[in-house]
Amino acid sequence: MVKKLKYGLYTPNYGPIFGYARKLAELSKEVEDAGWDGYFIWDHILVDRNFPYPIVDPWVALAAMAISTERIRIGTTITPLPRRRPWKLARETVAIDHLSKGRMILSVGLGEPPEVEYEAFGEESDLKVRAKKLEEGIDILMGLWSGKSFSYNGEYYDIDNVRFLPKPVQKPRIPIWGAGQWPKKGPFIRAARKLDGIFPLKENFRGKLTLDDLGEIINFIKRHRALDTPFDVIFMGKTIGRNREQINKKFEQYAEVGATWWLEYFGATAKLEKIHERINLGPGDV
């Protein structure tokens, strides 16, 4: 049976469990052995000035996850592209793509909260500036991944005739998912016009997306998408209990609306016992 949904684990890159590369590598192997399709981690450099969580660099963690697995997709959800140098990120993502033999997915967004992700390090936190840097950064990633000579003259970035090799394993390139806070339209238009998927959240992270929200998002994407290529719609949430029939009924609802990925969420303070329990219950059958 061909499943309508793919299933992944979705965790921070910080906390007493998730803040260490070795533990993420061990969990990714467990996820793969239990039949899941992916494991995606956050990309934070600082979460709270007043509460110093252990935080692991996501690229070191993804490298460990890549060599610990053979099949599952791995990647970030999401990388705040405006606080990264796009050319450095191009090198990192291609390295992970080769290490994993073509299993890397990159998710990009503005990054939250700006007062710690940006201002704590003297970085520009203005929303409009970050949005423009995000746009330019995506163009640069795609240009550098091409393996061809590439130049770029933008408002914030300039590149003078460089060529990056090797190219990604994946063809035509590493997939990029965009993040967006619904019903803000800009990120969803960007994703529809040039990216490979959308990871929607509620505006200002207040409340949870509903099935009706998801339906509106998918219809909006369809109206704005001109590319004739696959497009992923990622939904993040939690399943409760061990009743697989009830869990699958929930998954069926999201699949019918048009979601393509379900990401099972665990917070930074999740207990290891609960994490193991949910992983080993396995993904859905929908």
Count other Cβ atoms within 10 Å, centred on residue 83.
20
pLDDT for 202: 86
Joined together, the tokens standing for residue 265 give 């969420």
Helix (H) or strand (E) holding 232, with range, is: strand 232-237
Select from 58, 77, 114, 15 the least CA-distant residue to 263. 77
Provide the sign of the torsion angle of the four alpha carbons 272, 273, 279, 280, taken in this order. Answer: positive
Q: Are 164 and 147 in contact (CB under 8 A)?
A: yes
Distance CA 207, CA 229 (A): 31
Q: Are 140 and 151 in contact (CB under 8 A)?
A: no
pTM for the whole structure: 0.96
Q: Tell me, what DSSP letter sits at residue 284? A: -
- Domain ranges in the chain? 6-281
Distance CA 77, CA 104 (A): 12
Q: For 6-281, CATH number? A: 3.20.20.30
Helix (H) or strand (E) holding 217, with range, is: helix 211-224
Distance CA 42, CA 56 (A): 10
pLDDT for 208: 85
How does pLDDT run across 137-183, given as a tens digit for each residue? Answer: 999 999 999 999 999 999 999 999 999 999 999 999 999 999 999 99
Q: Tell me, what DSSP letter sits at residue 200? A: E
Q: Residue-wise pLDDT tens for the chain (286 aa)?
A: 678 999 999 999 999 999 999 999 999 999 999 999 999 999 999 998 888 899 999 999 999 999 999 999 999 999 999 999 999 999 999 999 999 999 999 999 999 999 999 999 999 999 999 999 999 999 999 999 999 999 999 999 999 999 999 999 999 999 999 999 999 999 999 999 999 999 999 877 667 899 999 999 999 999 999 999 999 999 999 998 989 999 999 999 999 999 999 999 999 999 999 999 999 999 999 9
